Chains A and B, each alone.
Chain A
């Protein structure tokens, strides 16, 4: 089952923050976050395993609430390079695949 991502799109000015949410109706083993630029491959950002840990990479961090089957990606002090489509990919305990959300298009303007 495909996870639900929100918002569909967000426009930011450099330095602004944003939150992207991802929710699933099924029990999850892990949540993966990717960023994809037009015509390119999805680039791995981070993975969160069940346990509710929060991870960070520079000014991009994420959390995973396994009780609610929800994950959030936090973009802090956005940079122009953050523009792209962000996908969450979810994986159940018995899965060997990712089910991707529909994506959130982030546009960062100077």
Chain B
């Protein structure tokens, strides 16, 4: 079965640079979520989109922005990168609550290293 696709899988950036992470949800999933996971920590919710509109927002820094496009893929844009931004970034997708089956499936993640 098709899974969530994330690219790139690994990314190395220097401080103050920008990065763009991409997420392609499972077909027919209309909701996308972004999570950040530091070493030994639980995933922290950043932001979510439903039908191309922001549906919820968590602890996402102002330096980060995200959007969902007409084909439902999503991009997380990160600017003025800091050392503390180094983490695993997961994208997850789900069907809508109305479908009655909206468990979130996670992509393989993008490992961002800021030097």
Closest to A93 in B: B97
CB pair A41 B45 closer than 8 Å: no
CB pair B105 A96 closer than 8 Å: no
CB pair A42 B103 closer than 8 Å: no
CB-CB under 8 A from A44, the residues of chain B are: 103-106
List the one stretch of A9-17, A57-65, A69-77, A100-108 in contact with chain B. Answer: A100-108
Does A47 interact with chain B (Cβ within 8 Å)? Answer: yes
CB pair A96 B108 closer than 8 Å: no
Closest to A100 in B: B42
Docked pose: A22 CA to B64 CA in angstroms? 31
For the complex formed, measure the closest distance between the CB of A98 and the CB atoms of chain B, giving whole angstroms. Answer: 6
For the complex formed, measure the closest distance between the CB of B108 and the CB atoms of chain A, giving whole angstroms. Answer: 5
Residues of B within 8 A of A (CB): 31, 33, 41-45, 48, 50, 55-56, 58, 90, 102-109
Residues of A within 8 A of B (CB): 2, 32, 34, 40-44, 46-47, 87, 89, 95-103
Q: 23 A-B Cβ contacts within 8 A?
A: A2-B42, A32-B103, A34-B106, A40-B108, A40-B109, A41-B90, A41-B106, A41-B108, A42-B90, A44-B104, A44-B106, A46-B103, A87-B43, A96-B33, A96-B48, A96-B55, A97-B58, A98-B43, A98-B104, A100-B42, A100-B44, A100-B45, A101-B42
